[in-house]
């Protein structure tokens, strides 16, 4: 077969109707229309062989998960890097670096944007200023050393 349109036109009679033999008809039509076989009998034989020996699923189509984190090693690494003045943001970065992940710092700007989204307001500028003050206070509270 040449073009996709020619293939589609060739396949139309093989795709019509339902029933239990629809898959078989479709397979036979695909073999004939693609040029893999020249007769229905030959196509039926190829389809029977394919049904008897299905292809194994492709490996690696899904991302493999990274191996489990060694909790003891992670704790040992984190303990070495923290002190009494470590903030939540710093702790997040430390844990990420100890576990081999890229650290994505939680900046004040990101925190305030998230806070605004969580506490949506439909008011004037004064309400927005109050919300900004509230979110800034929450940021400072979170960032205070433990």
Domain boundaries, the chain: 4-52, 70-106, 107-146
Distance CA 39, CA 136 (A): 76
CA 130, 131, 136, 137: dihedral to nearest 10 degrees? 70
* pLDDT over 60 (residue 146): no
Contact at 8 Å (CB) between 49 and 57?
no
pTM: 0.39
Residues making up the chain, counted from first to last: 146
Q: Secondary structure of the chain: what % helix, strand, coil (to 5)?
A: 60, 0, 40
Percent of the chain having pLDDT more than 90? 1
pLDDT (average), residues 61-89: 74
pLDDT (average), residues 79-89: 78
- Specify the pLDDT at position 145: 62
């Amino acid at each position: 077969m040449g073009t996709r349109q020619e293939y589609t036109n060739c396949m139309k009679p093989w795709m019509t109707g339902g029933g239990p033999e629809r898959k078989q008809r479709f397979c036979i039509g695909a073999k004939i229309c693609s040029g893999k076989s020249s007769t229905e009998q030959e196509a039926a034989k190829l389809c029977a062989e394919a049904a008897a020996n299905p292809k194994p699923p492709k490996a690696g189509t899904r991302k493999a998960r990274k191996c489990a984190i060694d909790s003891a090693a992670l704790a040992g690494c984190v303990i070495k890097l923290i002190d009494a003045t470590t903030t939540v943001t710093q702790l997040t970065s430390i844990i990420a670096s100890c576990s081999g992940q890229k650290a994505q710092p939680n900046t004040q700007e990101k925190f305030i944007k998230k806070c605004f989204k969580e506490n949506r307001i439909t008011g004037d500028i004064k309400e927005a200023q109050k919300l900004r003050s509230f979110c800034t206070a929450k940021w400072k509270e979170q960032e205070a050393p433990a």
